[in-house]
Amino acid sequence: MASDPPGDTLGIILLSGTHDRAHYAFVIASGAAALGRQVVMFATNLGCRALCRDWSGLMFKDRDSRIEARGVAGLESLREACLDMHVRMIACEAGLRSEALDAGLLLPNVEVAGIATFLMAVKTGQIITI
């Protein structure tokens, strides 16, 4: 794969364990990836729950069925789209430990690493925190 021009990578830091923030992190990630941008998502602390196969540990998880009923893509659809578009997902090693989450609970292809790995991946790209 050819390297991206400097600054073209989008980095998303997900700190929160609430459904609305996790959902929108995946909205942004899938939207940017659909536009051809490289995307790296870094989840830490309670945000790591969004990268688990079973994301029911997110706060306000019932919101997902309500938004799907209104025609909005749910978290599962967005996560699948991100995986299909090769969004790089990193779960913070310290964040997993802080929340007593086992790395074996994570989605396939989610890396476990620290903030330095995330920053090296994003380089001079744009970083947003949710």
In this prediction, residue 4 carries a pLDDT of 46
Prediction pTM value:
0.93
Average pLDDT of the chain, as a whole number: 95
Cα–Cα dist 56/51, whole Å:
11
- 101, 53 in Cβ contact below 8 A? no
* Ordered strands of the 39-43 beta sheet: 111-113, 88-92, 39-43, 10-14, 126-129
Exposed (0-12), middle (13-18) or buried (19+): which is 56, by Cβ within 10 Å? exposed
pLDDT range class, residue 7, cuts 50, 70, 90: low
